[in-house]
Amino acid sequence: MEISQAKTSWSDDHLLQLTDPHNHRIRYDRVGYIWEHRLDGKWELHSVFKYRTHGYYFHLIRFWTYNWSKELMDRRVSMSRSIINGFDSLYKDSKRVRKISEDSSLGVKEKFELIKGIFPEEPLSYIADALNISLSTLKRRIR
């Protein structure tokens, strides 16, 4: 039987803190046991179950620590995939810029517009370097 893969609303930093066993404690409050967790150095109530045993909480802590660490790992794998996909896109775009800069049938102004369409946030100095011309020459040609 597969356990539900419910995603939590904890941030990555808080999930990392929750996976540390030293950030959990169990207290007895004269009626039952209280589970507390420490996030950002502050102890907070996590759960209250009256009339449960001390061992029950340790079972819950182990269960949830495992689930939180699994979710944190899944998030990091997903982030790694998106970073790799971003590099693939960057590589393809830079190949397009190189082809544009090597195309002798295009003028500097057309090359500038095509490259600016691929990398709209890049400064003029990047485009000048890609075209292998000085910044002042680029500025003169795109007026």
Tokens representing 46? Answer: 């996590």
Give the SS3 label for residue 28. Answer: strand
pLDDT digits (tens, 9 = 90+) for 66-78: 999 999 999 999 9
Going by pLDDT thresholds of 50, 70 and 90, the confidence category of residue 4 is very low
Closest CA to 101 of 83, 80, 127: 127
Report the predicted TM-score, pTM, of the whole model to 2 decimal places: 0.59
- What ranges do the domains of the chain cover? 10-85, 103-143
pLDDT of residue 33: 85
pLDDT digits (tens, 9 = 90+) for 20-54: 999 998 888 887 888 899 999 999 998 887 767 77
pLDDT digits (tens, 9 = 90+) for 70-112: 999 999 999 888 888 888 888 999 999 999 999 999 999 999 9
Q: How far is CA 141 from the centre of its chain?
A: 41
pLDDT digits (tens, 9 = 90+) for 117-127: 999 999 999 99
